[in-house]
Amino acid sequence: MVAILALMLAAVPAGAQDQAQPAGEPPAVAQVPIPRFRAIDADAPHQQKLPLPTVRLLAEPDFAPWSFTLEDGTLAGISVDLVRAACTEAGLTCEVVATPFTGLLPALQKGDGDVIVTGLRLNGDLMSNTALTRPYFRAMGRFMIRRGTQVLAADPRALAGRRIGVVKGTAHEAFLKTYYDKSQLVPEDSEAVMYEALRTGALDVAFGDSLRMSFWMNSDGARKCCAGLGGAVIDSETFSRPLVYVVRQDKAAVRDRLDEALDTLEENGTTASIFARYLPAPIW
């Protein structure tokens, strides 16, 4: 329990590794380094940049902010921009193909694409029949309070007795039941209901996905009512699903080139700038 809850409060040190590190709340997006989601091995051998055929990237066209279609028909988003940057860094020629969610895996299996950029949840079958990059992001939880609420920390002791809203039946609820059993957990039917209950004072705190909370806190509907409490929370046992690029099994050389490039992009700040391009505020 101590190991998991410590993730909420410490800032990310410069040399932190991939596993479950949070960040604090610096003042502006441009100044915020992302947590180290990747375990970078500085001694790993460099991949040879031999010529490879054009890599076909399959991206869901309606999965903002990760991948979506712009008005001119081109694809954009965090995952799309990041893989494009990785292709450039790796010396790969890549083209992005808009592919509906239901067609992503069939297209990969038929050889109509080489890399799935967005959309799929990892499972045992997918992991054993494809070549996966290491994670470039992990879903994070976040506590949120109304501005002016006298709550100074997000640890279980500080929130004991407090009314914490959470969407019922979710992994976030499972996390709270395990670690915040001294709080008054209030299961809500939806995020919208939970957010409104927090805004109007029916809840003391809300807990949910840090990315979606960031968008809501900065929306007109929130009326500038609320702010994050503490840093982000990563718990691999419940809600911290990793995002990876799913590569055809016979394209392991492409996977290796992308992995090395993604390491470089995280190190040189490109990854952080791509996240900042699409997020209204830091989510860690």
pLDDT tens, position by position, 261-274 = 999 999 999 999 99
The two structure tokens encoding residue 111? 């050889």
Helices (H), 130-225: 171-179, 191-199, 210-217
Q: How would you classify the pairing of strands 130-132 and 246-248?
A: antiparallel
Nearest to 143 by CA among 121, 123, 165, 126: 165
For the stretch 20-57, pLDDT in tens is: 333 333 222 233 456 677 776 767 777 666 667 899 99
pLDDT tens for each residue of the chain, 284 residues long: 433 443 443 333 222 233 333 333 322 223 345 667 777 676 777 766 666 789 999 999 999 999 999 999 999 999 999 999 999 999 999 999 999 999 999 999 999 999 999 978 888 788 888 999 999 999 999 999 999 998 989 999 999 999 999 999 999 999 999 999 999 999 999 999 999 999 999 999 999 999 999 999 999 999 999 999 988 999 999 999 999 999 999 999 999 999 999 999 999 999 999 999 999 988 98
Q: CA 248, CA 60: separation in Å to the nearest integer?
A: 17
